[in-house]
Amino acid sequence: MIVTTTLDPAIAARLKRTDDGLVAAIVQQHDSGEVLMLGWMDDEALARSLTTGRATYWSRSRNEYWVKGDTSGHVQWVKDVRLDCDGDALLVKVDQDGAACHTGDRTCFDADRLGPDA
């Protein structure tokens, strides 16, 4: 059974959400600074991440919450969460256990380099 949590109203008031109620969450390895992935959070996902210590996201394709690692075993342990100056993006610093990307890569940003030196 999943328990619904409530995001602190002071935090919720600072968020600038998309039309569908989401905020981009940039995920970074807490000790190395490596950028791992981009996920989406609504108020509930952020509240769960802050209270449980496990990164929780809203899946836009499945229309449901997912706790990173519940099916893959590649858990993200939340170490710090910061809001950007505009309130429209989160920086979620985690301790990544295993791959962050659904492809099995450590980071979602390993593949296609773009630009003149690619």
Residue 3 pLDDT = 54
3-state secondary structure 11-63: HHCCCCCCCCCCEEEEEEECCCCCEEEEEEECHHHHHHHHHHCECEEEECCCC
14-23, 53-62, 88-97, 104-113: segment of lowest average pLDDT: 104-113
Average pLDDT score, the chain: 92
* Range(s) of the domain holding residue 46: 9-96
Q: Is residue 88 situated within a structural domain?
A: yes
Q: Is residue 59 situated within a structural domain?
A: yes
Residue 4 pLDDT = 64
Length of the chain: 118
**In the predicted structure, residue 1 carries a pLDDT above the cut 50:** no
Q: What is the pLDDT of residues 4-61, one digit of tens each?
A: 678 999 999 999 999 999 999 999 999 999 999 999 999 999 999 999 999 999 999 9
Phi, psi at residue 37, to the nearest 5°?
Answer: -170, 175
Q: Read off the tokens for 115.
A: 């630009």
**72 burial via Cβ count (<10 Å: 0-12, 13-18, 19+):** middle
Residue 60 pLDDT = 93
CATH of the domain at 59: 3.10.20.810
**CA distances in angstroms from 46 to 102, 105, 115, listed in the order given:** 21, 25, 34
* H or E element at residue 9: helix 9-12
Average pLDDT over residues 94-104: 94
Residue 35 pLDDT = 97
Q: Are 58 and 65 in contact (CB under 8 A)?
A: yes
Q: Is residue 35 situated within a structural domain?
A: yes
Total number of domains constituting the chain: 1
Portion of the chain with pLDDT greater than 90, in percent: 83
- Report CA Rg, the chain: 14
